[in-house]
Structure formats: C-alpha cells, structure tokens
C-alpha cells in the first residue's frame, strides 16, 4: 500500500461525508498499487496457478511447470467425461473460477486458496469413494453397501486417508514451529519500544516511526500500535512512506521512535 496511514479507521457510529471520502481514498490507493493491478493474460494465469496447484497436491512450490498444470486439468476433464458425474464437472468449473479474482494480480500466498480448496476436497472424496465402490463390486464381487453399515472397507478408507494426510503434513516444510516469520521479530521490537517509551499515549494519539524494519507497503506497524493500545483512532506516520504521504507541516507527535538498525529508541526532544 502507498502508506499505512492512508487507510484511516472508519467510525461506524458516525459515518457520513468523512467516511465516504475515506472509503474513496482507500479505493484510489488500492487501484494505484501495482501489486493489485490486474494483468489479464494466460501467462499470468499460469504464473499464479502453478505454485498454488503444487501446494494443493502437497508438492514443492516450484514442482509444476505450465505443461504439468495443463495435464492436471486435462486429466480432471477426462475423468468428468468418462464418469459423466455432474458434480465432478461442477467442481472442475469451481476449481478454475474461484481463484480468478486473484489469478491476475501479483502472486499472493496460499491463504487465497481457502475457498477454492473446497471443490478439490469434494473431488478427491468422490474419487476415493468411487474407487472403493469399484473394488467392492468389480473385484470383491460383493453386494451394494448399505448406508447404515460400518463395513471394514469404509473404516479402512477413512484410516488410510487420515494416515496419508498425517504423513504428508508431517513432512510439509511450510508448516513448522521451528520456522519463525521474520516479521514477528519486527513486531516484537516495535511492541517492546511502544510499551517502554509510549506507555502514556493518549487516545487518538499520533505516532511517528523514523526508520523501521518493516517493508514499505505492509500494515503491521499500524496493527501493532492500535492493537497494543486498544485504540482504532491512533494515527501512525512512517518516514519510510513519507514520499507517498508526507505528514502535514508542523504536525506534532505524541510518540516518536527512531530505528537504528537493531532496535527502536524514543526521541525525547
């Protein structure tokens, strides 16, 4: 984002012209951010789909190329045609449609796939059950399964899937309590400095960060300040974002923190 303080808190109890103006400013800021500028092209579709699909299939992020992605969806289409199962066809459409709002902007993390994962889960479950039913009838030559019977095949399929997921997840390099997000260190540094040097910050106060370890376009510093003091009215300026939104001339701050490359120090001037 152009600057954290460009996104002012909205007063939902007294929202009039000021609220509407703030919302319009947010929309303009988002539209001007290159990270959210759409690039409608087949190339961009595959750029974002490749890493997401790899993670859906529990593969390393760069494990799939464009041809492999195409083959995965071609295989799913072939399954739909052969089985003639309408729900599988519907799921295939959802797999392609649900990620579209984020397919054509800069690559986002896997959290954008929370909802698009639903058709993948439904398709996987349907194929597993269909495979079990095929073995039941065509290989083991047994009669139709009753819905209210706990057959060993049902219990076995559940156990195999559970053990498979546990095995895969235990080897997933993306999930580990041994790996700490680097932004957490910056968050802790800011929190400690605010607690030590800005404990008496008044309601709706103004904070200035002169240099900080955060990326230029993140909201973390604003979130840390407002959550720590339980005050959505606190305003935060950062010299790192000053070229996009310089503070008003003569603006006074209730708390100013300087960052020396390793920690924050309060400006007592």
Is there a domain that residue 138 lies in? yes
The pLDDT of residue 25 is 46
- Last residue within a domain, chosen from 170, 205, 240: 170
Token pair recorded at residue 83? 């089985």
The pLDDT of residue 21 is 43
Q: Give the whole-angstrom CA distance, residue 2 versus residue 78.
A: 46
Does residue 138 sit in the same domain as residue 219? no
Is there a domain that residue 223 lies in? yes
Does residue 49 sit in the same domain as residue 148? yes
Does residue 185 sit in the same domain as residue 166? no
Does residue 193 sit in the same domain as residue 135? no
Does residue 63 sit in the same domain as residue 123? yes
Is there a domain that residue 69 lies in? yes
Is there a domain that residue 14 lies in? no
Upper half-sphere CA count for residue 95 (Cβ side, 13 Å): 22
Q: Give the whole-angstrom CA distance, residue 145 versus residue 38.
A: 50
The pLDDT of residue 264 is 93
**Distance (Å) of CA 110 to CA 99, 107, 209:** 11, 9, 31
Is there a domain that residue 216 lies in? yes
Tens-digit pLDDT profile for the chain (269 aa)?
334 334 344 444 444 443 444 444 444 455 667 778 888 899 999 999 999 999 998 888 789 999 999 999 999 999 999 999 999 999 999 999 999 999 999 898 888 999 999 999 999 999 998 888 888 777 776 777 667 677 777 788 889 989 988 887 777 665 565 667 778 889 999 999 999 999 888 899 999 999 899 988 788 999 999 999 999 999 999 988 876 566 667 788 999 999 998 899 887 65
> Residue 148's domain spans which residues?
43-170
Which of 231, 212, 1 has the alpha carbon at shortest distance from 254?
A: 231
Strand partners, 258: 210, 265
The pLDDT of residue 79 is 94
Q: Which helix (H) or strand (E) holds 90?
A: helix 86-97
Is there a domain that residue 16 lies in? no
Is there a domain that residue 35 lies in? no
Other Cβ atoms less than 10 A from the Cβ of 54: the count is: 19
Token pair recorded at residue 163? 């053990």
The pLDDT of residue 131 is 86
The pLDDT of residue 29 is 53
Contacts 24+ apart (CB under 8 A), 76-81: 76/123, 79/127
Three-class SS state of 40: coil
- Strand blocks (E) in the chain: 206-210, 235-238, 255-259, 264-266
Does residue 115 sit in the same domain as residue 191? no
Q: Give the count of domains, the chain.
A: 2
Q: Give the whole-angstrom CA distance, residue 101 versus residue 117.
A: 15
Does residue 108 sit in the same domain as residue 161? yes
Strand partners, 257: 209, 266
Does residue 87 sit in the same domain as residue 186? no
Three-class SS state of 259: strand
Is there a domain that residue 124 lies in? yes
The pLDDT of residue 91 is 95
Does residue 166 sit in the same domain as residue 184? no
- Last residue within a domain, chosen from 121, 146, 170: 170
Under DSSP, the state recorded for 50 is H
**Rg of the Cα trace of the chain?**
26
- Last residue within a domain, chosen from 170, 194, 225: 170
The pLDDT of residue 142 is 72
Does residue 133 sit in the same domain as residue 60? yes
- Burial tier of 217 (Cβ tally within 10 Å: 0-12, 13-18, 19+): middle
Does residue 155 sit in the same domain as residue 208? no
Say if strands 206-210 and 235-238 run parallel, antiparallel, or are unpaired.
parallel
Other Cβ atoms less than 10 A from the Cβ of 12: the count is: 7
Does residue 186 sit in the same domain as residue 237? yes
């Amino acid at each position: 984002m152009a600057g954290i303080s460009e996104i002012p808190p909205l007063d939902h109890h007294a929202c009039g012209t000021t609220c509407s103006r703030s919302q319009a400013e947010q929309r303009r800021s988002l539209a001007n951010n290159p990270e959210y500028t759409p690039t409608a092209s087949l190339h961009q579709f595959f750029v974002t789909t490749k890493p997401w699909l790899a993670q859906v299939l529990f593969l390393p992020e760069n494990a799939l190329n464009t041809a492999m992605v195409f083959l995965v969806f071609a295989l799913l289409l072939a399954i739909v045609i052969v089985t003639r199962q309408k729900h599988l066809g519907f799921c295939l459409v959802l797999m392609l449609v649900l990620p579209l709002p984020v397919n054509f902007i800069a690559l986002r993390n896997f959290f954008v796939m929370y909802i698009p994962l639903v058709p993948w889960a439904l398709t996987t479950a349907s194929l597993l059950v269909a495979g079990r039913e095929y073995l039941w009838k065509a290989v083991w030559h047994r009669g139709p399964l009753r819905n209210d019977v706990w057959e060993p095949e049902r219990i076995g399929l559940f156990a195999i899937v559970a053990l498979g997921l546990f095995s895969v997840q235990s080897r997933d390099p993306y999930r580990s309590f041994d790996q700490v997000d680097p932004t957490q260190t910056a968050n802790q540094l800011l929190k400690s400095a605010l607690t030590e040097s800005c404990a008496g910050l008044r309601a709706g106060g103004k904070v200035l960060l002169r240099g900080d370890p955060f990326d230029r376009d993140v909201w973390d510093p604003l979130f840390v300040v407002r959550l720590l003091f339980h005050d959505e009215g606190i305003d935060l300026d950062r010299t790192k974002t000053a070229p996009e939104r310089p503070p008003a001339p003569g603006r006074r701050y209730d708390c100013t923190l300087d960052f020396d490359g390793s920690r924050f120090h309060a400006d007592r001037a």
